[in-house]
Amino acid sequence: MTPVLRSSGHLAADRRYDYARGAAAEGDHVAASDLLQQTLEIAPTWAPAWFALGESREELGETAAAAEAFAQALAHDPADSQGARLRLARLGAADQPAQPPQAYVRDLFDQYAARFETHLVKDLAYRAPSVLREAITRAAPARRFAQALDLGCGTGLMAKEMADLCDQIAGVDLAPAMAAKARASGVYAEVEAADLLDFLKGRAPAGADLVVAADVFVYCGALDAIFGAVRRVVKDQAIFAFTLQRGAEGDYRLGEDLRYAHTPAYVARLAASHGFALASCDEVSVRQDRGQPVPGLSVVLLAL
């Protein structure tokens, strides 16, 4: 990710922080830790420096000290725009949160928006939209959709893929910069910059006949409330289609990549309890991580 422009309000602290980031980028985490401790002597409540110190200590294998630094980052930035809670969970120093911090996901994708399509599609072989379209048309051949909702619409790749089958598509994305790109694509009737659950809660019941979420639930953790909110806004026989990272056990788990993976059993249980039939659940990879296909699921549900 592109580093965020941050300032502690102290020139000397900012300078040391910048040097530390440079050292960390070159793999010199001993120098980075040292510079960050100097930074924190000048600006002791500055969360970005605590967070960066946590990262360098983690790289050095100093788990307990890293957890201490992430805990300080969280204490000084309770909205948690850097995701210290996720780092603490990954280190085993806290339980996994049921959702990632909203500020973290929003900032992540706001920073990412400008280069999202090039990076994801070209570098990470991203293909969730075409995989979902294929699964939807297999489950409902030749069907047209009057009102589609694109949850976590990003820049609009999923809507572009479905546009010829839909009369109207409404999108929602937590990151305003992503929502702006989606709006500019001209594919949507409307795009809201909001949390998808709030967006769903604000819609009239039984209006939509298609809901899609391509590579979004990896940033959502628990899906129970989302399934319930989707079922409320769709008509009977509507399609609810989404991709997931495939989990191996339990319901869902935060992975090393700081994304959530969900199990097919969890999806089947939620589908049954919220009034959906499982039309298909395919094992398919929709993106790569360090050149390797990430195990995934493409799921199509039918509202009963």
Ligand X SMILES: C[S@@+](CC[C@H](N)C(=O)[O-])C[C@H]1O[C@@H](n2cnc3c(N)ncnc32)[C@H](O)[C@@H]1O
- Which single residue is written with the structure tokens 């998808």? 196
If the CB atoms of residues 52 and 105 are measured against ligand X, the closer one turns out to be 105
Answer for which of 53, 69, 84, 105 binds ligand X (CB under 6 A) is 105
Does residue 220 belong to the site contacting ligand X (CB under 6 A)?
yes
If phi over 0 gives left and psi between -120 and 50 gives alpha, with beta otherwise, what is residue 74?
alpha
- Nearer to ligand X by Cβ, of 36 and 220: the residue is 220
Token pair of 86 as six digits: 């996720």
Measure the CA–CA gap between 182 and 85, rounded to whole angstroms.
29
CB nearer to ligand X: pick between 191 and 279:
191
Which amino acid, residue 182?
A: A
For helices 176-185 and 102-112, the axis angle rounded to 10 degrees is 50
The residues with which 212 forms a beta bridge, in sequence order, are: 150, 241
Q: Which of 48, 54, 129, 296 binds ligand X (CB under 6 A)?
A: 129
Token look-up 């920073």 returns: 111
Tell me if 172 contacts ligand X by CB under 6 A: yes
Give whichever of 20 and 132 is closer to ligand X, judged by the CB atom. 132
Binding map of ligand X across residues 39-78, x = CB under 6 A, - = no contact: ----------------------------------------
Say which amino acid occupies 87.
Answer: R
Quote the least distance from Cβ 239 to ligand X, whole Å. Answer: 16
Select 24 or 172, whichever has its Cβ closest to ligand X: 172
